[in-house]
Chains A and B, each alone.
Chain A
Amino acid sequence: MSSRDTILASLRASRPQVDRPLPTVSLFDGLRPPSLVAAFKENLERMGGLLLEPPIGGDALAPLREKIAGAKVVCSTVPEIAGNRAIARIAAPRELADVDFAIVRAAFGVAETGSLLLIDGELRVNALAYLAQHLIVLLDPADIVVNLHHAYRRPELRVGHYAAFHTGPSATADIEGVLIHGAQGVRSLSVVLIAKRSRPRD
Chain B
Amino acid sequence: MSSESERARNAAAMLHPELLADHDDAATTRGGRRLDHAEGSSKPLRPPPEKQPRGAKIHGSRPVDQAEAAERFLAAPQHEKMHDERLWDLRQKRDREMHGMPEWEELRSLASAIKEHTLTRLDEYLEQFEANAQKNGVHVHWARDAAEHNAIVHAILKDHGAKSLIKSKSMLTEECGFRHYMASVGIEVIETDLGERIQQLDNEDPSHVVVPAVHKLRTDVAEVFAKTIGTDPDNSDVHYLAEAQRRSNRPLILAADAGMTGCNFAVAETGSVVVCTNEGNADLSANVPKLHIASIGIEKIIPRLEHLAVFVRLLSRSALGSPITQYTSHFRGPRKGGEMHIVLVDNGRSERLGMAEFWTSLKCIRCGACMNTCPVYRRSGGLSYGATYSGPIGLIIDPTFNARKYSNLPFASTLNGSCSNVCPVKINIHEQIYAWRRELVKLHEVPFAKKAAMKAAGELLSRPAAYRAAITATNAALAHLPRFVIYSRLDAWGKHREVPHPPKQTFHSWYQANRGGKR
Q: Which residues of A contact B (CB under 8 A)?
A: 2-4, 6-8, 10-16, 18-23, 25, 28, 31, 43, 45-48, 93-94, 97, 112-115, 120, 126-127, 129-131, 147-149, 151-153, 157-158, 160-186
Contact = CB atoms under 8 A, between A and B. Distances in A.
B250 to A, nearest CB: 8
Contacts of B312: 148, 152
B341 to A, nearest CB: 14
B322 interface: yes
B37 A47 contact: yes
B62 to A, nearest CB: 29
B148 A3 contact: yes
Which of B250, B280, B324, B335 has the most A CB atoms < 10 Å from its CB?
A: B280
B65 to A, nearest CB: 28
Given A7-B142, A14-B351, A22-B117, A168 B37 contact: yes
Interface in B135-158: 136-137, 142-144, 148
Interface in B2-48: 26-28, 30-31, 35-41, 45
A2 B270 CA distance: 25
Nearest to A119: B330
Given A157-B272, A171-B37, 14 more contacts: A3-B142, A7-B126, A10-B351, A14-B351, A14-B359, A16-B356, A158-B305, A161-B333, A173-B40, A174-B198, A175-B238, A178-B41, A185-B280, A185-B327
A6 B353 contact: no
A7 B280 CA distance: 33
Given A162-B335, A186-B280, A23 B110 contact: yes
A162 B136 CA distance: 11
Contacts of B113: 20-23
Contact of B117 (A21, A45, A172): A21
Contacts of B303: 22
Contacts of B239: 178, 180
A10 B306 contact: no
Given A23-B114, A25-B306, A170-B326, A179 B142 contact: no
11 contacts: A11-B126, A15-B123, A18-B120, A48-B38, A130-B288, A148-B312, A171-B279, A175-B198, A176-B218, A183-B281, A184-B280
Given A161-B334, A176-B86, A178-B41, A16 B119 contact: yes
Contacts of A120: 335
Contact of B213 (A8, A25, A153, A174): A174
Question: Which 4 residue pairs across A and B have the least CB separation, nearest first?
Answer: A177-B41, A185-B280, A14-B354, A174-B195
A19 B278 CA distance: 37
B359 A16 contact: yes
A168 B272 CA distance: 23
Interface in B253-292: 253-255, 270, 272, 278-281, 283-284, 287-288
A158 B269 CA distance: 9
B279 A7 contact: no
Interface stretch (B241-249, B409-417, B501-509): B241-249
B144 A3 contact: yes
A7 B144 contact: yes
A8 B335 contact: no
Given A11-B123, A25-B309, A180-B238, A20 B37 contact: no
B458 interface: no
A22 B350 CA distance: 21
Contacts of B40: 173, 177-179
B217 to A, nearest CB: 6
Given A172-B39, A177-B86, A161 B142 contact: no
Nearest to B116: A20
A2 to B, nearest CB: 7
Interface string B312-331: 11000000001111111111
B514 to A, nearest CB: 48
B332 to A, nearest CB: 5
Nearest to A114: B323
Contact of B218 (A6, A45, A131, A175): A175
A46 B350 contact: no
A171 B326 contact: yes
A30 B323 CA distance: 19
Contacts of A130: 280, 283-284, 287-288
A157 B305 contact: yes
A188 B19 CA distance: 31
Contacts of A152: 305-306, 308-309, 312
B344 interface: yes
A168 B28 CA distance: 13
Nearest to A94: B254
B350 A10 contact: yes
A179 B27 contact: yes
A129 B327 CA distance: 11
A22 B114 contact: yes
Contact of B192 (A12, A21, A112, A184): A184
